[in-house]
Structure 1
Amino acid sequence: MQFNEAKNKFIQTWGALGSQWGINKTMAQIHALLMVSPEAVSMEEIMEELHISRGNASMNLRALMDWGIVYKEFKQGERREFFTAEKDLDELAVKIAKERSKREIKPALKVLKEVSSIAGDASAEQKHFTEQTTKLYDFVLKADNMLEKATEMNDNWLGRLVIKIMK
C-alpha cells in the first residue's frame, strides 16, 4: 500500500468511526487529516484533500476547536489560517473524555435525577420506575466520577507516574 492510499484509508476509517462515536463524519475526517499531518494545514488544503466546501470545513474546524483538540496556528507573512491537531494522545483522550462528559453524561445525569425524584400516588409501577432510575443515576454518576478521576490523573505528578509505568 502506498502512502497516499494508506493516508486516505486512515482518514476514511477515522471518519466512519467518528460517526459511530456521535460526531459527524467530516469532523472526524478533518481531525484525522490534521492528526497525521506533520505541519499545520490551511483550510484550503483541508477542503482540497477532503473534497468539502469552505462552509463545511469552517463549521467543523470551529467545532473541533471548541472541543479543544484542534488549534489555529499563525504563520509569519501568511494571510491564510492554518490548523493543527493535538498530537499528544494522552492529552487528546483526556480532552475528548471531558467534552463527552460535559455534552452527554452531565445532561443525562440531570434528567435521571429529575425523573427519579417524582412525587405521586406511589403505585407499584411508580416505585419500580423510581428504583430503577435511581439505580441508573447512581451508576452513571459513579462512572462519571471515575472518568473525572482518570482525566485528573494526568494533572498530578503521581497520576503521570502511574500512566508512564503503564506504558
Structure 2
Amino acid sequence: MEFQEAKTKFVQTWGALGSQWGINKTMAQIHALLMVSNEPVSMEDIMAELQISRGNASMNLRALMDWGLVYKEYKAGERREFFTAEKDLDELAVKIAKERSKREIKPTLKVLKEVSSLDTPQTEEEKHFV
C-alpha cells in the first residue's frame, strides 16, 4: 500500500470512529490528518486535503482546540496559522474521557439528581421512581 493511500484510509477510518467518541466525522478526520502529519499543517492545507470549506475547517479546528486535542502553532515569517495534534495516545484517551464526562456524564447526573428529589413520594410508582 502506498503512503498516500494508507494516509487516506487512516483519515477515513478515524473519521468514522469519531461519532463513537461524540464528535462529528469532519472533526475526527481533521484530527487524524494532524496526527499523521510530521509537521504542523495550515488550515488551507487541511481544507485542500479533506476538501472542506474554510468555515467547516475553522469551526472544527476550534472545537478540537477546545477539547485540548489540537494546538495552534505559529511559524516565523508566516501569516498563516498552523495546527498540530496531540500524538500521545494515553494523553489523547484521558482528554477525550474528561471532555465526554464534562459534556455528557455530569449533565446527566445533575438531571438524575433533580428528578430523584420528589418532595414526598406517595404512590408506589413515585416510590419506585425515586
Structure 2: gaps (5+ residues): none
- Matched length: 130
What amino acid does structure 2 have at the position aligned with 1:7?
Answer: K
Shift of 1:120: 4.3
Shift of 1:104: 0.7
Shift of 1:21: 2.4
Per-residue Cα deviation, 1:119-155 (whole angstroms, up to 9, x for no partner): 245211111111xxxxxxxxxxxxxxxxxxxxxxxxx
Q: Distance in 1 between the 2:4 and 2:119 partners? A: 61
Q: Distance in 1 between the 2:64 and 2:87 partners? A: 14
What is the aligned partner in structure 1 of residue 108 from structure 2? 108
Shift of 1:78: 0.4
Identity of aligned residues (%): 83
What is the aligned partner in structure 1 of residue 50 from structure 2? 50
Bigger relative contact order (CA 8 A; separation at least 6) = 2
Name the TM-score, length of structure 1 as normaliser: 0.75
1:66 maps to 2:88: no
4+ aligned runs moved over 6 Å, structure 1: none
- Superposition pairs for residues 1-167 of structure 1, below 5 Å? 1-130=1-130
Mapped contact 2:21–2:96 kept (Cα < 8 A): no
Mapped contact 2:41–2:83 kept (Cα < 8 A): yes
Per-residue Cα deviation, 1:89-130 (whole angstroms, up to 9, x for no partner): 111111111111111111011001011111245211111111
Question: Secondary structure, in 3 states, of the residue corresponding to 1:71?
Answer: strand
Name the TM-score, length of structure 2 as normaliser: 0.96
What is the aligned partner in structure 2 of residue 153 from structure 1? none
Structure 1: gaps (5+ residues): 131-167
Question: Where is the helix percentage greater, Structure 1 or Structure 2?
Answer: 1
User: How much is the aligned-residue C-alpha RMSD, in angstroms?
Assistant: 1.0
Q: Distance in 2 between the 1:58 and 1:28 partners? A: 14
Q: Distance in 2 between the 1:74 and 1:15 partners? A: 26
